[in-house]
């Protein structure tokens, strides 16, 4: 069952780009923006990552933490984050724990049978740990409505 609006957000334990385990629970008390990306080093993902990067002061001002999540390994994520000066954590969901818990798994990305990536999705979790907003891309090439995401974050303040 996907984490729907009004339901508790599933916790996770994922490695960040420095191979430290991070959990959703550690951000309790802040609004959390979970941004799921199909893959590092791809065009639309880089555009979205950089758009969120450029908006980080707005999110900080709303007591919000952005977390990027892909199924890529932390080594690739670190290089991608460095190349793009990403200023928020990226988490490696290589075992598909979060993409399955949030029902954003994308099988067969780019026609690769057996490969499961994350679909592009944004989930906003309020400071108490409840899902307040959920958007899943109809296709991985679609970006979220950033103004809508910010409005959802603002509504949690």
From 32, 33, 35, 45, the catalytic residue: 45
**Mean pLDDT across 27-50:** 94
Between residues 40 and 130, the one the model is more confident about: 130
CATH class for domain 13-155? Answer: alpha beta
Between residues 122 and 140, the one the model is more confident about: 122
Largest pairwise CA distance in the chain: 42
**Mean pLDDT across 7-14:** 96
- Does the pLDDT value for residue 22 go beyond 70? yes
**CB 32 within 8 Å of CB 64:** yes
Eight-class DSSP state of 146: H
Helices (H), 5-134: 43-54, 56-61, 74-83, 97-101
The chain-wide mean pLDDT, for the chain, equals 94
Look at residue 71 and give its three-state secondary structure. coil
Tokens of residue 72, six digits: 């890529």
Residues 61-70: tens digit of each pLDDT? 999 999 999 9
**What is this structure's pTM?**
0.95
pLDDT-based confidence at residue 1 (cuts at 50, 70, 90): low
Tell me if residue 45 is catalytic.
yes
Q: What is residue 2's predicted lDDT score, i.e. its pLDDT? A: 67
**CB 106 within 8 Å of CB 116:** yes
CB proximity list for 43: less than 8 A, separation 6 or greater = none
Residues 77-129: tens digit of each pLDDT? 999 999 999 999 999 999 999 999 999 999 877 777 888 999 999 999 999 99
Domain positions in the chain: 13-155
Q: What is residue 157's predicted lDDT score, i.e. its pLDDT? A: 79
């Amino acid at each position: 069952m996907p984490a729907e609006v009004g339901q508790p957000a599933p916790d996770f334990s994922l490695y960040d780009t420095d191979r430290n385990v991070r959990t959703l629970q550690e951000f309790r008390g802040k609004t959390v923006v979970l941004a799921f990306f199909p893959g590092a080093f791809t065009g639309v993902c880089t555009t979205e990552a950089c758009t969120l990067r450029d908006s980080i002061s707005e999110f900080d001002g709303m007591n919000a933490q952005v977390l990027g999540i892909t199924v890529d390994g932390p080594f690739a994520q670190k290089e991608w984050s460095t190349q793009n000066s990403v200023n928020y954590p990226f988490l490696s969901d290589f075992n598909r724990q979060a993409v399955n818990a949030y029902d954003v798994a994308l099988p067969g990305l780019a026609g690769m049978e057996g490969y499961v990536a994350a679909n592009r999705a944004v989930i906003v979790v309020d400071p108490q740990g409840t899902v307040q907003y959920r958007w899943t891309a109809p296709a991985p090439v679609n970006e979220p409505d950033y103004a809508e995401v910010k409005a959802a974050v603002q509504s949690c303040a």
